[in-house]
Structure 1
Amino acid sequence: MSIAHQRRRLANASDRATTAISPLGRILARLEGAPPLARVALTAGALALQAGDFMRAEAQARMALGQAAPLAHRLIGLAREKAGESPRAFEAYREAHSLAPTDPDTARDLARMANRLGHPSLAIELLIRVRQVVPDDLADALELGALLRDQDRYDEALAVVREALRRAPEAAAVWSLLGSIASHQGDDQEARAFHDQAMLLDPISPAILANAAIARLDVGDALGAIEACDTALAHAPTPAQAAVIRMTRAQARLLAGDLPGGWDDYAARLAPERPESLAFDLPWPRLEPDEPLEGLNLLLIGEQGLGDEVMFGGLIGDLIAALGPGGRLTLAVEPRLVSLFARSWPGVRVFGHVSAVLAGRLTRTIPDLFDPEIQAWAPMADLPPRLRPALDAFTAGPFLRPAPARAAHWRVWLEGLPAGDKVGVLWKSLKMTGPRTRRFAPFEAWRPVLATPGKTFVSLQYGEAHEELAFAAERWGVALVEPPGLDLTHDLEGVAALCAALDGVIGPPTATTNLSAAVGAPTWMIYAHPAWPTLGTGRHPWYPSARAFTPDGEADWSRRMARVGQALSKA
């Protein structure tokens, strides 16, 4: 999971967290109406839950099933939820709701868990019913508005939020949610205005400040984002909030060119306080920040997204030098990268890592690696503070070596195409929902690029692309050539070889454009927002052959893509 995606988790949740009563708080508020014996058992269960003893909490709640079944099932569900047993929690909440279908609290609990288990439509339906019973509850309005926003149902979300704003115009959380809806819709300037208004109304809420920081970062105001993060961290955020805020500040600091401060905050990406952070199941000790590298037998494991693994792979050559002749390096990367990384560093053992959800947390391991001589392991992004402490530490040159025979094959194929430069293009990700769509220019905006004369465009778009290819041919008279027999999703060896044979590659920052830059192809990366990997330079220090196109003040994709097209016509 990318850092950009992780930091937005707070933005998607904080609107609700600023006003909602906790699920346990709603249970405790009902205890006075429970029979005495049930009240004693439920109180003991609540205390056990607060102490983290989830098994005892459930056991105590079961003692109240005979006299206060809905409350007991809700407490059982909450104990299971806290223990990471989401499906079983859902069953308990569903039982509570079936026993008390008109109770708003049972519907709220079931809606929350339905959304967590990937059933947002059910959650929305339940919350609509709740609002029919309790129309004035601000937390319900914010929860429903956020769910509708996440399903791209913006008109409905805005209707809910505007009604909430009419009832509570001074509620900072409402303005914050308006800002997040604007952000989802692609209006970064309006999003900042709404989040700044929320911050004026509540200048000490960590969640409100965190959202304002993200909105500032999205428009390139790195110093403003840092200021908001500093203020948020000074006002007692929860440990999970603090980790996300530090991740936002890491990107802001890196965008501002503050590499030492940025890398220091970047460590928060794996903070265990955040349930969504990646965990590792490895039998060796993790490398300490000040542990000497020379002579070490080290395991380096990839993290975050596929493109991040490629980018941070640029550190491996310097790491090998730091380990010295007495050291040894083992790599664990995404399985599709194993052969490419092994060829690029012949003296390094390379394995594939796998990930699975264990006890509610995404956990990464290396099932094929058994080596008691390994002395320490490190995730890839732990290395920049050591190997990239300043801009002058970024080394030049490509670092991945595609298969020579496959690159030669693609050169022969490209020679058979019309004369002129052969440029690879891609324009989207496999997942194009919600705010992710904002990271990619709509295909219609690509016309200034694809209409460039004297260029033959090769489609590097993985996944389903037939609709766009037909659109370009029918509307613009541009025939994008598809590489025959190449699986652009899974055959990354083939993708790297083709990129190396092309005269250039243009696209958003994806695994493909990172591979292209890593093999040394001239690569233009088109960013939706000012990008922290540029490290405040306006270029791409990680890849000498890459050029970064950031918004540079343009308010819409058409102007940004016109700038790319103009640059291509001069290339």
Structure 2
Amino acid sequence: MSASALAQADAGAAPIHSGQIAGAIGDSASTEAIERLKQATQNVKNAENSKLLTRAINAVHTGAYDKADKLALKLLKRDEQLGLAWHILGIAREKNGDYASSLRAYEAALKLLTDHAAVAGDLGRLAFRMNMPDLAAKFFAHFRLSRRDDVEASNNLACALRELNREAEAIEVLKEAIAANPTAPALWNTLGTVLCNAGDAAGSMIFFAEALSLNPDYTKAWHNRAFAKSDLGDVKGALADCDEAMKRPALPQDLAIMHFARATLLLALGRLEEGWKAYESRFSHELSEAPHFYIGGTRWAGQDLKGKRTLIIAEQGLGDEIMFANLLPDLLEDLGPESAVTLAFERRLVPLIQRSFPGVEVLPHRTVAYEGRVWRTVPNVEDWDQFDYWTALGEFLSSRRGSLEAFPQRKAFLTPDPERVAYWKAELEKLGSGPKIGILWKSLVLSAERARQFSPFEDWEPVLRTEGATFINLQYGDCEEEIAYAKEVFGIEIWQPPGIDLKQDLDDVTALCAAVDLVVGYSNATMNLAGAVGTPCFMLTGASAWTRLGTDYYPWYPSVRCFVTQQYGHWTEAMANVADALRDFVAR
């Protein structure tokens, strides 16, 4: 994939990143970068071009990026083969937030400049920031070819490899770099993040401590140690480290991650009033995953909505949309029939939401990735003026879920298709007697941060060997390998429901979830659907999962029973507890 391949595309909406900060270090406009650019101008023979390049470089140095952009374009009109002008244009547009155009400019510079290692480094950082780790790894590897022992080159390549779940390769890169640069805190810090993402939070603490011993003011190490403490169940300690990190200057995007991480820590401690207020940080422009709403009209700011026409748009990932829909029954009841409400949900959820709230207009929203940002809109709305206000669904959390007592104990808040529930019940009866247990073991979104939240499939053996249970596959995505493994190694058949796409047919998936006797697994979209329709669930979760809101249960879904591991990456005990509980369930 080339840099210029970036285009508008449907984005798989995901929850906002609240984890580690071990991103690419370096800066395309740093003092060192400016000096490299100035030295490169000495090789430009045309005196006028050299003079314009110097002015453009000085503009970058002083932060006058619009001026640098104009001067670079002026140079390219004179000579479109001038690689330095393309490089400066790339820097200026990156700094102004025009990531797509910046990528194209950097790519042009990469092709034209003889000494293009620095451009590859800039391209890698930009691709990394835009959540394109595969592309970033290629550019960082290219950058490192000419700087084998360079801290920036090795650190950044290791970061990209980590995000690709290639931890072993990342560790090898870092070991070599640390041998050459043992006093570089960035390398120790990144090594800690690699171990933490691999599920070894305890081991990672050693490397964060080393980074902080080398530089007690190293913000990223404070924040990342907070992340590791959270993984180990020490949420109070994590909050203390997070607060320490925020005392120190940081890049704006790092600080935005810290603010959002702090919000989730407060929620994990059950401090809901503070937590929901801090949760507003999820909309920070500095968070690359934060949704930018392309919606006309007036955004709601707490006004009385009774008698008003309001568009409420679901936010973040699919699981969050379902979970936050917990708000809708009492919210719509309070607004009353005199208020006209339009709901916007992910298109696969529209039939389910419409059935659950029949008096409300439900439209599909659309999410696209464009120029390094995530945009969400409602394409079926042609006239935004028809609404008095619009707002994101999560904006009601603070006022309506400000305490644990505010969570209603209703069994279900979404309504599956009764005909499809009956159909699936009949199909399940054909499998024989005994309870039918739906299982879920992974997510399609397995970034380095998220992968540790799921166990290896091998850990499911004690659960799947439960006598008397019939297991039903509810896991979306490619599951052939795991289903074959269960049959060949465990001797267990996992029934694959025929005629259903478990990723796309979410209305039918919901009916299937309602038809089984129990769902066992991790918190992905399907688990949320099962909980929302009141199906009994055994949910595997981490000690510091913020969505439990400081409890040992799951406030969003009364039918969910939680099985908590004290450390991500260590699921054996939790799995054994699930197996014991499942035997009791089957016996009953």
TM over 0.5: yes
Contact kept? 2:130, 2:288, Cα under 8 Å:
no
State the partner residue of 1:140.
Answer: 153
Give the structure-2-normalised TM-score.
0.89
1:217-256 superposed matches below 5 A: 217-256=230-269
Is 1:332 aligned to 2:344, yes or no?
yes
Question: 35, 45, 49: which is aligned to 1:29?
Answer: 35
**Distance in 2 between residues matched to 1:118 and 1:360, nearest whole Å:** 8
User: Shift of residue 148 of structure 1?
Assistant: 2.6
Question: 69, 73, 89: which is aligned to 1:58?
Answer: 69
State the partner residue of 2:534.
Answer: 520
Is 1:312 aligned to 2:312, yes or no?
no
Contact kept? 2:205, 2:228, Cα under 8 Å:
yes
Question: 269, 281, 285: which is aligned to 2:298?
Answer: 285
Question: 390, 396, 401: which is aligned to 1:388?
Answer: 401
Contact kept? 2:31, 2:61, Cα under 8 Å:
no
Could you say if the C-alpha distance between residues 401 and 120 of structure 1 is closer, same or farther in structure 2, counting changes exceeding 3 Å?
closer
Is 1:11 aligned to 2:24, yes or no?
no
**Distance in 2 between residues matched to 1:281 and 1:510, nearest whole Å:** 27
Could you say if the C-alpha distance between residues 329 and 21 of structure 1 is closer, same or farther in structure 2, counting changes exceeding 3 Å?
closer
Contact kept? 1:71, 1:96, Cα under 8 Å:
yes
State the partner residue of 2:3.
Answer: none
| Letter in structure 2 aligned against 1:11 | I
1:105-504 superposed matches below 5 A: 105-113=118-126, 123-124=136-137, 126-128=139-141, 130-288=143-301, 290-369=302-381, 370=383, 372-397=385-410, 398-432=412-446, 434-504=448-518
Could you say if the C-alpha distance between residues 38 and 210 of structure 1 is closer, same or farther in structure 2, counting changes exceeding 3 Å?
farther
**Distance in 1 between residues matched to 2:528 and 2:416, nearest whole Å:** 13
Question: 528, 532, 537: which is aligned to 2:546?
Answer: 532
What is the SS of the residue equivalent to 1:6? coil
Point out the more displaced range, 178-187 or 27-36: 27-36
Contact kept? 1:32, 1:39, Cα under 8 Å:
no
What is the SS of the residue equivalent to 2:368? strand
Aligned residues: 565
Gaps of 5+ in 1: none
What is the SS of the residue equivalent to 2:109? helix
What is the SS of the residue equivalent to 2:385? coil
Contact kept? 2:299, 2:391, Cα under 8 Å:
yes
Could you say if the C-alpha distance between residues 415 and 130 of structure 1 is closer, same or farther in structure 2, counting changes exceeding 3 Å?
closer
Point out the more displaced range, 321-330 or 243-252: 321-330
Contact kept? 1:183, 1:191, Cα under 8 Å:
yes
User: Shift of residue 333 of structure 1?
Assistant: 0.3
State the partner residue of 2:107.
Answer: 94
| Letter in structure 2 aligned against 1:209 | W
Alignment deviations for residues 37-87 of structure 1 (CA, whole Å, 9 cap, x no partner): 445423443465578775642331244567993332210222333455545
Is 1:41 aligned to 2:55, yes or no?
no
**Distance in 1 between residues matched to 2:184 and 2:557, nearest whole Å:** 46
Point out the more displaced range, 121-130 or 199-208: 121-130
User: Shift of residue 551 of structure 1?
Assistant: 0.7
User: Shift of residue 496 of structure 1?
Assistant: 0.9
Point out the more displaced range, 461-470 or 165-174: 165-174
Could you say if the C-alpha distance between residues 47 and 401 of structure 1 is closer, same or farther in structure 2, counting changes exceeding 3 Å?
farther
> Which structure exhibits the higher relative contact order, with contacts defined as CA atoms closer than 8 Å and separated by 6 or more residues?
2
Alignment deviations for residues 365-400 of structure 1 (CA, whole Å, 9 cap, x no partner): 111123534211111111110100101000011100
| Letter in structure 1 aligned against 2:562 | A
| Letter in structure 2 aligned against 1:501 | A
RMSD of aligned C-alpha atoms? 2.7
State the partner residue of 1:69.
Answer: 82
Alignment deviations for residues 468-493 of structure 1 (CA, whole Å, 9 cap, x no partner): 21221222221111222122111111
User: Shift of residue 4 of structure 1?
Assistant: 5.9
**Distance in 2 between residues matched to 1:392 and 1:268, nearest whole Å:** 25
Alignment deviations for residues 259-310 of structure 1 (CA, whole Å, 9 cap, x no partner): 011111111111123343210011121111x423443332111111111100
| Letter in structure 1 aligned against 2:21 | A
User: Shift of residue 125 of structure 1?
Assistant: 5.2
**Distance in 2 between residues matched to 1:256 and 1:434, nearest whole Å:** 25
Could you say if the C-alpha distance between residues 528 and 365 of structure 1 is closer, same or farther in structure 2, counting changes exceeding 3 Å?
same
Contact kept? 2:520, 2:538, Cα under 8 Å:
yes
Point out the more displaced range, 154-163 or 475-484: 154-163
1:556-571 superposed matches below 5 A: 556-571=570-585
| Letter in structure 1 aligned against 2:34 | L
User: Shift of residue 503 of structure 1?
Assistant: 0.9
| Letter in structure 2 aligned against 1:488 | L
What is the SS of the residue equivalent to 1:446? helix
User: Shift of residue 502 of structure 1?
Assistant: 1.2
Could you say if the C-alpha distance between residues 78 and 548 of structure 1 is closer, same or farther in structure 2, counting changes exceeding 3 Å?
same
What is the SS of the residue equivalent to 2:296? coil
Contact kept? 2:192, 2:205, Cα under 8 Å:
yes
| Letter in structure 1 aligned against 2:583 | S
What is the SS of the residue equivalent to 1:307? helix
Alignment deviations for residues 84-129 of structure 1 (CA, whole Å, 9 cap, x no partner): 5545434433343344334532332344456567875665455445
User: Shift of residue 334 of structure 1?
Assistant: 0.4
User: Shift of residue 32 of structure 1?
Assistant: 4.3
What is the SS of the residue equivalent to 1:425? strand
Gaps of 5+ in 2: 1-11
**Distance in 1 between residues matched to 2:132 and 2:254, nearest whole Å:** 25
Could you say if the C-alpha distance between residues 410 and 539 of structure 1 is closer, same or farther in structure 2, counting changes exceeding 3 Å?
same
| Letter in structure 1 aligned against 2:297 | W
Could you say if the C-alpha distance between residues 303 and 51 of structure 1 is closer, same or farther in structure 2, counting changes exceeding 3 Å?
farther
**Distance in 1 between residues matched to 2:498 and 2:110, nearest whole Å:** 55
**Distance in 2 between residues matched to 1:291 and 1:200, nearest whole Å:** 50
**Distance in 1 between residues matched to 2:418 and 2:569, nearest whole Å:** 43
User: Shift of residue 419 of structure 1?
Assistant: 1.0
**Distance in 1 between residues matched to 2:138 and 2:246, nearest whole Å:** 36
What is the SS of the residue equivalent to 1:383? helix
Contact kept? 2:318, 2:346, Cα under 8 Å:
yes
Could you say if the C-alpha distance between residues 323 and 443 of structure 1 is closer, same or farther in structure 2, counting changes exceeding 3 Å?
same
**Distance in 1 between residues matched to 2:250 and 2:307, nearest whole Å:** 41
What is the SS of the residue equivalent to 2:452? helix
Alignment deviations for residues 183-231 of structure 1 (CA, whole Å, 9 cap, x no partner): 2222121123322432343333332222222222222211111112212
